[in-house]
Amino acid sequence: MTSDLKKNVVPITETESKPLGKHLGNVIKEVRKQHGLTIADVAERANISVGMFSKIENGHVSTSLETLEQVANALGVTLSRLFRDYNAPSGNAQFVKKGHGMEVVRRGTKLGHTYHLLAYDQGPQKTFEPFLITLEDQAEEFPPFEHGGTEFIHMLEGVLEYKVGLETFLLEPGDSLTFRGDQPHQPAKLIEVPIRFLAIIHHDPVDHSGGSEWTQS
């Protein structure tokens, strides 16, 4: 368990992650106290160590969305509840500066392979997730992914073969691809790196999974 958790944790930086990490920690602590739970109670329910949960609650580390979802489930709230009111001005518009999207850690993530979440859904139910994906390791292999909802991909840089079901599509800058998320899909071949593309996942109203392949850590 300890070795797996180390892969899911990114140290907080002053310029990017700290405000979000502090916000999440404050919300987690508030909800935990409202429910009369101890740190040990929540850590056990979330299947993480007491020390790791304490660091998350104090905003000392930036962890994966999957781990945050485990914490939310342990607290009896939705994942979106933890992000509610984060950087939300009165008009409910969200502005994310270049390079300041939340870095998402996925199980097996390697160097040169990053996902940045570009918006934080603050409603009672997650409706969509926009990611900026960067792939730089041409030798990397991907397992097939499946999730609820519909996924839209728009290529920004590089050349990529992307497999959906039994079909393979050659994606170049400016190309777009849309498909149902419950079909097995994956990057099949990284032809020209670095590769950057937008991946936007729209969740069905009845889809309560609250996650995508980019949130597995």
The enclosing domain of 56 has a CATH number of 1.10.260.40
Query: How many domains, in total, are found in the chain?
Result: 2
Residues 44 and 125 in one domain: no
- What does the pLDDT read at residue 90? 52
User: Is the pLDDT reported for residue 84 higher than 90?
Assistant: no
Residues 181 and 78 in one domain: no
End position of a domain, from candidates 83, 116, 143: 83
The CA-atom distances, in angstroms, between 208 and each of 120, 179, 197, 211 are 17, 19, 26, 8
pLDDT digits (tens, 9 = 90+) for 151-197: 999 999 999 999 999 999 999 999 999 999 999 999 999 999 999 99
User: Is the pLDDT reported for residue 131 higher than 70?
Assistant: yes
Residues 75 and 131 in one domain: no
Q: Which residues form the domain of 114? A: 102-215
Question: What's the pLDDT band for 103 if we cut at 50, 70, 90?
Answer: low
Residues 208 and 118 in one domain: yes
Residues 185 and 147 in one domain: yes
Residues 124 and 180 in one domain: yes
Cα angle 107, 17, 147 (rounded to 5 degrees) comes to: 35
Residues 110 and 192 in one domain: yes
Residues 63 and 112 in one domain: no
Residues 110 and 180 in one domain: yes
Provide the 3-class DSSP secondary structure of residue 180. strand
User: Is the pLDDT reported for residue 22 higher than 50?
Assistant: yes
CB atoms within 10 A of CB 84: 16
Residues 170 and 79 in one domain: no
- What does the pLDDT read at residue 69? 87
Residues 45 and 145 in one domain: no
Q: How many residues does the chain have?
A: 217
Helices and strands in the chain, H and E counts = 6, 9
Question: What's the pLDDT band for 111 if we cut at 50, 70, 90?
Answer: very low
Domain annotation covers residue 25: yes
Alpha-carbon span 49 to 28, nearest angstrom: 16
Alpha-carbon span 29 to 34, nearest angstrom: 9
- What does the pLDDT read at residue 12? 39
CA torsion sign for 47, 74, 215, 27 is: negative
User: Is the pLDDT reported for residue 104 higher than 90?
Assistant: no
- What does the pLDDT read at residue 200? 94
Residues 54 and 142 in one domain: no
Helical residues (DSSP H) of 35-139, grouped into ranges: 39-46, 50-57, 65-75, 79-83
Question: And the tokens for 100?
Answer: 């300041």
